[in-house]
Amino acid sequence: MRSSLGAGRMRPLLLALAAGLLLVACDRTPEGEFTGYVEGDLLFIGPQEAGRVTALPVSEGSRVAAGAALARLEDDVQTADLAAAEAALAEAKARRDKARAAQQRPEEVAILEAGERRANAALDLSRIELERQKSLVPKGASSQANLDTAQHQYDQNRASLDEIHRQIDVARIAARVEDIAAAEAAVLQAEANRSAAQVRLDRRRLNTPDAGLVQTLYYRVGELVPEGRPVVSVLPPGLVKVVFFVPQAMLPRLAPGLPVAVSCDGCPPLSARVTFVSDAAEYTPPVIYSREERAKLVYRVEAKPDVPADARPGQPVTVRLQGGA
């Protein structure tokens, strides 16, 4: 009676023990196979200055090419700044051209040239009068005073002609070297201001730097976007990776470039290559490593799929080592 009673009490315990062993056996993964998941590094596209969204030509889940427009923000202020910068640049160029050109306009130079011809005629007339007085004075037909007057008039006309020559030379030369250099520096500064205004205007149009899949739209048309906040997130295929963890005993068998096979539920088999093996353990006991504790150490490993479009972020996968590992 006691033995049948004891056997009845032991039967549930044995059944529970057997179920536990069966569960442990089923949970074991084959040698060289590891569980993991697909992870994607998103690109968060947003403005550097606050603004209101005026256009949003993409939707969540749509594929975009490199350089495609994702969103546009109001740009009234930036457009006005660009117009002002272009006007300042035009003014600076005009001042530079004026400094490089002659000091006076061609019409003003023509007036000076007319004065030059008049001075030449007056000088010729005074020369003739001076020669006549020089021939009459020795004969007593004219006085010394008339000769002195003629000489004075000739000297005065010659000085007037020299003065007009100097005025014409000054009118034809450009500004001083220092003035020209200052005008050219002003043009460079105006060009830099225009370039900066153009960059600020271009930044109101948000484009994707790489092709990918639009993941999330964080704002809608009409909403105000704070500075530095993303409007759209994009997942490029090149930033999709498979993440799995291996025990520390497997580390010698892993190296960047090692091919691995990736499988998941309801998807075609994938091939990938290891790109990263962490040198830091995910579990670190506070004391000395015993054999039992060492068995708990796992290291993060990343692999890049050969066809990233076939992998979906967040999907659980099974990774199997290949290539003679």
What confidence tens digit (pLDDT) does each residue in 16-41 have? 433 343 333 344 455 668 888 888 88
Whole-angstrom Cα distance, residue 312 to residue 266?
12
Tokens 């479009």 map to which residue? Answer: 309
Which H or E run includes 298?
strand 298-305
Q: What is the CATH number of the domain that holds 312?
A: 2.40.30.170
Q: 35: helix, coil or strand? A: strand
**Better pLDDT: 142 or 188:** 188
Which of 146, 174, 197 is the endpoint of a domain?
Answer: 197
Residue 8, in any domain of the structure: no
CB 293 within 8 A of CB 275: no
Which of 235, 254, 289 is the endpoint of a domain?
Answer: 235
323, 318, 303: which is closest to 262 by C-alpha?
318
Residue 21, in any domain of the structure: no
- Mean pLDDT across the stretch 219-224? 94
pLDDT of residue 25: 38
Q: Is the pLDDT of residue 104 over 80?
A: no
Report how many domains make up the chain: 3
Q: 257 in the Ramachandran plot: left (φ > 0), alpha (ψ -120 to 50) or beta? A: left
Whole-angstrom Cα distance, residue 240 to residue 242?
7
Within this chain, do residues 115 and 176 fall inside the same structural domain, yes or no?
yes
Q: Model pTM? A: 0.58
Q: 10-24, 43-57, 90-104: which range is least confident on average?
A: 10-24
What's the one-letter identity of residue 19? Answer: A
Give the tokens for residue 303: 């692999």
| Contacting residues for 227 by C-beta, under 8 A, at least 6 apart | 47, 48, 49, 50
> Which domain covers residue 55, as residue numbers?
43-73+204-235
Within this chain, do residues 285 and 182 fall inside the same structural domain, yes or no?
no
Which of 235, 257, 283 is the endpoint of a domain?
Answer: 235
What's the one-letter identity of residue 156? Answer: Q
Q: Is the pLDDT of residue 10 over 50?
A: no
Within this chain, do residues 59 and 103 fall inside the same structural domain, yes or no?
no
Residue 57, in any domain of the structure: yes
pLDDT band at 147 (very low <50, low <70, confident <90, very high): confident
